[in-house]
Chains A and B, each alone.
Chain A
Amino acid sequence: MRRIRAAAVGAVTLSLVLSAAACGGGTTDGAGSNSQPKTLTYWASNQGASLEVDKKVLQPELDKFEKETGIKVKLEVVPWSDLLNRILTATTSGQGPDVLNIGNTWSASLQASGALLPWDAKNFEKIGGKDRFVDSALGSTGVQGQDPAAVPLYSMAYALYYNKKMFKDAGVEKPPATWDEVIATGKKITGGGGSGIGVEGSNLSNNIHQVFVLGKQHGADFFTPDGKAEFTSDGAVAAVKQYVDLMATHRIVAPGNAEYAQNQSLSDFAKNKTAMVLWQTASATFKAQGMNDDEWGVAPAPVPSGVPGTGKATNSMVAGINLAVFKNTKNIDGAMKFVNFMTGDAEQKILNTAYGSIPPVKSAQQDPAFSAPALAVLRETLATSAAALPQVPEESQFETVVGTAVKELFADAAAGRAVTTESVRAKLEKAQQQMPKK
């Protein structure tokens, strides 16, 4: 009997604990506080060759910050495949990091969710003012006319990387500068057994980056100035078709690339199977794949004709990483100090050198470390011929639906089915109808 009573008491206690746990969920109260001034949680994105590399790069810097301020930073490097979902979950529950990296193309989408601290003049003052940052990088921090949702941390741009050995074997003297030259070069190389250029056909984001730039070159944006989806304009259709035609018509992309989504095109490049890739900051990956720095070259990404510039001569998106403060932080002052630290000249030089990116901070960008040939191309592109992806709240939907359309078109091309203007338009039409109605 005593045993039964004990079991009954246990059952009641457990039930009480459970109901208490159920009621005591997360609190989604307003702005941040300073209730935990001694610690910060930081979600870093995966910038190096692996998560481990990132930890090795960042930890000494975080230790430095702790020495300066006495604030301990708990670091978590989140892989790209999880990052956006983790941020969404943190947003709904209110339980998230204090400071986090975001892909700069997500800025407007996340801004709309209200999860991130807006960077008004007062907040910018705490990190040395808005003027410290390069304009093009600030163009990818949220919807125009609103306070930025994040500050730029690393800047990157697309460039054409080419395999010197394969170029030499095929008798190609200099890297192509226009799309016609890319196709001619690609055919020369494909004739010799390798393939001309690599794509990541199943990587939705990469597809978007490429067709966005081609769209610019055809004078098309994928959104109207007031933010409505416009995927089926002649320019947009031509841009998508031009990209898929590299495989479908010109056959300078190996059909296998249609299923690539995990940077396999870079390994093909390192194994002398693919002669060119359009990529952002590929140098670290090439090194990790066992390539020496003198085995590859880098040139500005191709344009329709002439030299890279603005408008139809755009040849890259403004790629990069932004640093944001989570609105629910329990250490708002510490978070500000941390952003100030990470965007300071000294850290900008160290981190951007480690990751092969360009500092979005003007004073740090002047450092001679960023004048090496490979980086000079990226810096020049960012300064003169890169455009920001549409800064609209529906950007991430755009990536999903149009990125999927391009993936399906590549699958068609790989299977030998014809890719026509009509089939491209039909796919984009379907993508557009899946966008939320405004």
Chain B
Amino acid sequence: MTTTAIEKTGGRSGQRHTPGTAPRKRRPGRLRALGLPYLLLLPALLLELLVHLVPMVIGIVMSFRELTQFFIRDWTSAPWAGLDNYAVSVDFDAPVGEALLASFFTTCLFTLCSVGLCWLLGTAAAIFMQETFRGRGFLRALFLVPYALPVYAAVITWAFMFQRDNGLVNHVLHDQLGIGDSPAFWLIGDNAFVTLLVVSVWKGWPFAFLIMMAGLQNIPKEIYEAAALDGAGVWQQIRRITLPSLRPVNQVLILVLFLWTFNDFNTPFVLFGKAAPESADLISLHIYQSSFQTWNFGTGSAMSVLLLLFLLVVTGGYLLLTTRGRKASDV
């Protein structure tokens, strides 16, 4: 390995030392060198095509068809529906559209709360963990446990804990602390939103913590020392040094958390089963129910495409805003 590397660099530097010698001869070589990266990228591109783009395109095509149970065996025979599936999805006066809109707002609220809490917890923990103290390594590992656990196993455990009659949560809240006259329901009714939020934050914040820790490692210690000499307190150091330095990290972190949370399917599905309570009817589960449960894959696809468009717009807008802001601050 080392020998080839040396040979390679040696060869290249040799070429550099003799510019202009037989340039015509080298042209096919340069062409080859230009093509090589693309050639090496080809498998990844094809995989990307196979795993992401082709199913996406098929989904988009499906959204224009009347793909119900009568045609799933050979879906190319399903009649074209034009924009009917979209019309049904966005007719907010009719029950299907109304339910989709309600689910959309629920998801927005849920995402806002979940991402906010994940970020806050992750950042706070990461900042505290910058100090060296006994047991720091252990705590770091402990904090990352939710991130390392398989989602299904973890959420099933939560579902058990949130059961009304036999769950741990009510045992502690009601039986031991005596809160409320009767044990609360966590998996049905309005409390389901809180349940979902708790599990989602528990599952999501370690990622924020991990990324923030990595970000914090990159801030030079000297800046803090200088600030301390200038008389800045801890709070000021966090506000004036830590947070601005973490800006690029935050930018990506919040976007990724947003996309993951908005699209989360596993958590509500494992917690609530096929029919989520209205208070916790996240959009991905809602779409699943509108396609798999009612066997109407055309409408389900149309809803998915709408979701895709929304996420694209949000992501694009977010990136545009944040990069423009950064450029301005760079200047």
Q: Cβ of A414 and Cβ of B188 under 8 Å apart? A: yes
If A15-B46, A411-B277, A436-B68 touch, whether A91 touches B73 (CB-CB below 8 Å) is yes
18 inter-chain pairs at a CB distance below 8 angstroms, sorted by A residue, are A7-B40, A8-B36, A12-B42, A14-B43, A22-B49, A88-B72, A92-B75, A204-B275, A255-B185, A259-B163, A400-B275, A407-B275, A408-B277, A410-B188, A411-B188, A414-B185, A414-B189, A434-B95
Given contacts A21-B50, A259-B187, 12 further A-B contacts (CB under 8 A): A91-B72, A92-B72, A112-B69, A112-B70, A114-B70, A400-B274, A400-B293, A410-B188, A411-B185, A411-B189, A412-B189, A430-B95
The minimal Cβ–Cβ distance linking B42 to chain A, given in whole angstroms, is 5
- Does A83 sit at the interface, judged by CB under 8 A? no
If A256-B165, A259-B163, A414-B189 touch, whether A113 touches B46 (CB-CB below 8 Å) is no
If A88-B292, A113-B72, A258-B188 touch, whether A22 touches B95 (CB-CB below 8 Å) is no
Where chain A touches its partner, the secondary structure class is: helix
Q: Cβ of A109 and Cβ of B295 under 8 Å apart? A: yes
- Does B273 sit at the interface, judged by CB under 8 A? yes
Sort chain A's interface into a size bin.
Answer: 35 or more
Within 8 A of A (CB), among B16-72: 36, 39-40, 42-43, 46-47, 49-50, 54, 68-70, 72
- Does A71 sit at the interface, judged by CB under 8 A? no
- Does A403 sit at the interface, judged by CB under 8 A? yes
Q: Cβ of A400 and Cβ of B40 under 8 Å apart? A: no
Q: Cβ of A401 and Cβ of B188 under 8 Å apart? A: no
- Does B278 sit at the interface, judged by CB under 8 A? yes
- Number of residues in B with C-beta < 8 Å to the partner? 43
Interface string of B74-103 (1 = CB under 8 A from A): 110000000000000000001110010000
If A11-B42, A15-B46, A259-B163 touch, whether A28 touches B74 (CB-CB below 8 Å) is yes
Within 8 A of A (CB), among B290-308: 292-296
Interface string of A404-438 (1 = CB under 8 A from B): 10011011101100000000000000100110100
Q: Cβ of B43 and Cβ of A18 under 8 Å apart? A: yes
- B39: which of A11, A115, A256, A261 is its contact (CB, 8 Å)? A11
Task: Please give me the residue from chain B that is nearest to A328 by CB atom.
Answer: B73
Show the binding face of B for A, using Cβ within 8 Å: 4, 36, 39-40, 42-43, 46-47, 49-50, 54, 68-70, 72-75, 94-96, 99, 163-165, 182-183, 185, 187-190, 273-275, 277-278, 289, 292-296
A436 to B277, CA, bound (A): 22
- Does A202 sit at the interface, judged by CB under 8 A? yes
A113 to B295, CA, bound (A): 10
Interface string of A241-264 (1 = CB under 8 A from B): 000000000000011101101000
Q: Which residues of B contact A35 (CB under 8 A)?
A: none
